């Protein structure tokens, strides 16, 4: 028997009380961002979270969108260890897509429900200071520091920051930063209660062929062992690395959720069972 609306609301109440005033950093990507229906549901979730007193911060990438524009321009993408090799021309495309298109689309989708979203790039007011990750990768950056004060001022005004992951070094050179890594750094800088990754998988699986092998809760050490044992590979590695680093540096919990599930954020934040994988220190 399905729960009644009143039962759902009663179940949500203690979580609303617990997380009121807490910062929740959401790395937004995958199908949740590219499917228009899911994108609208995500915007609703973020606005509702803010309305019940949480302080959401959205951090996004846009790899598929960058790839699409490069293809239209006749550019051939190159990847090394899952990272896009970024020369000056590719960096221009990434800035154009992330800051000029994807960021504006997310801000607009949230503001349709309530005009509270503010778009930012990591280049704005020194929000994300970056450095070159490796000479072979070109303008791919590591996060050196995050100016949390900028985000704090927006959060104090009950606004929702939406951050595009382009950073810059002290000389003003821009870098394209992996969004998973950037989200973790932002969560640490804000001492966030939660760091949430929306992905296209149901969570961390011990066996990719077996959905029943979902890891619902794990420690940072247990997650690292899954990487060391070769169970976790590819795009999951930067997510897990960021999760483990974050929970060891002030973030209470990190979550990997299936963004293809409608209202995935609310199910994780406001229900007893939740979904996906939760990582703790």
State the Cα–Cα distance between residues 2 and 162, nearest whole angstrom: 35
pLDDT band at 169 (very low <50, low <70, confident <90, very high): very high
Q: Is 165 in contact with 177 (CB distance < 8 Å)?
A: yes
Which value, in Å, is the radius of gyration of the alpha carbons in the chain? 18
Where do the H-state alpha helices sit in 198-252? 220-228, 236-247
Q: How many domains does the chain have?
A: 1
Tell me: the pLDDT tens digits for 221-279?
A: 999 998 888 888 777 888 888 999 999 999 999 999 999 999 999 988 888 877 889 99
Residue 60: which H helix or E strand, with range? strand 55-60
Does residue 158 register a pLDDT over 60? yes
Measured N-to-C along each axis, helices 179-189 and 148-156 cross at an angle, to the nearest 10 degrees, of 70
Q: What is the mean pLDDT of the chain?
A: 92
Q: What is the CATH number of the domain that holds 112?
A: 3.40.1160.10
State the Cα–Cα distance between residues 187 and 170, nearest whole angstrom: 22
Q: How far is CA 270 from each of CA 14, 16, 233, rounded to the nearest angstrom?
A: 8, 7, 30
State the Cα–Cα distance between residues 97 and 100, nearest whole angstrom: 5
pLDDT band at 206 (very low <50, low <70, confident <90, very high): confident
Tell me: the pLDDT tens digits for 35-66?
A: 999 999 999 999 999 999 999 999 999 989 99
pLDDT at 1: 45
Residue-range definition of the domain harbouring residue 266: 5-280
Does residue 208 register a pLDDT over 90? no
Tell me: the pLDDT tens digits for 61-119?
A: 998 999 999 999 999 988 887 788 999 999 999 999 999 999 999 999 999 999 999 99
Q: Is 51 in contact with 116 (CB distance < 8 Å)?
A: no
Looking at the chain, the whole-number percentage of residues with pLDDT higher than 70 is: 99
């Amino acid at each position: 028997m399905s729960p009644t609306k009143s039962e759902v609301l009663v179940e949500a109440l203690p979580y609303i009380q617990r997380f009121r005033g807490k910062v929740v950093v959401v790395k937004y990507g995958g199908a949740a961002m590219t499917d228009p229906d899911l994108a609208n549901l995500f915007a609703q979730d973020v606005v509702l979270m803010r309305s019940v007193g949480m302080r959401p911060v959205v951090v996004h990438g846009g790899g598929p969108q960058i790839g699409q524009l490069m293809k239209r321009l006749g550019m051939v993408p190159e990847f090394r260890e899952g990272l896009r090799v970024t020369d000056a021309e590719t960096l221009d495309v990434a800035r154009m897509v992330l800051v000029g298109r994807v960021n504006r689309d997310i801000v607009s989708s949230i503001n349709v429900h309530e005009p509270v979203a503010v778009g930012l790039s990591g280049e704005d007011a020194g929000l994300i200071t970056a450095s070159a990750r490796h000479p072979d990768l070109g303008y791919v950056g590591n996060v050196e520091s995050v100016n949390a004060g900028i985000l704090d001022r927006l959060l104090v005004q009950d606004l929702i920051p939406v951050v595009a992951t382009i950073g810059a070094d002290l000389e003003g050179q821009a870098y394209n930063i992996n969004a998973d890594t950037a989200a973790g750094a932002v969560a640490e800088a804000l001492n966030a209660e939660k760091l949430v990754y929306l992905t296209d998988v149901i969570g961390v699986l011990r066996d990719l062929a077996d959905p029943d092998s979902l890891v619902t809760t794990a420690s940072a050490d247990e997650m690292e062992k899954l990487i060391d044992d070769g169970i976790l590979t590819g795009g999951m590695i930067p997510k897990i690395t960021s999760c483990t680093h974050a929970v060891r540096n002030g973030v209470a919990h990190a979550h990997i959720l299936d963004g293809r599930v409608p209202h995935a954020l609310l199910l994780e934040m406001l229900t007893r069972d939740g979904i996906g994988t939760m990582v703790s220190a």
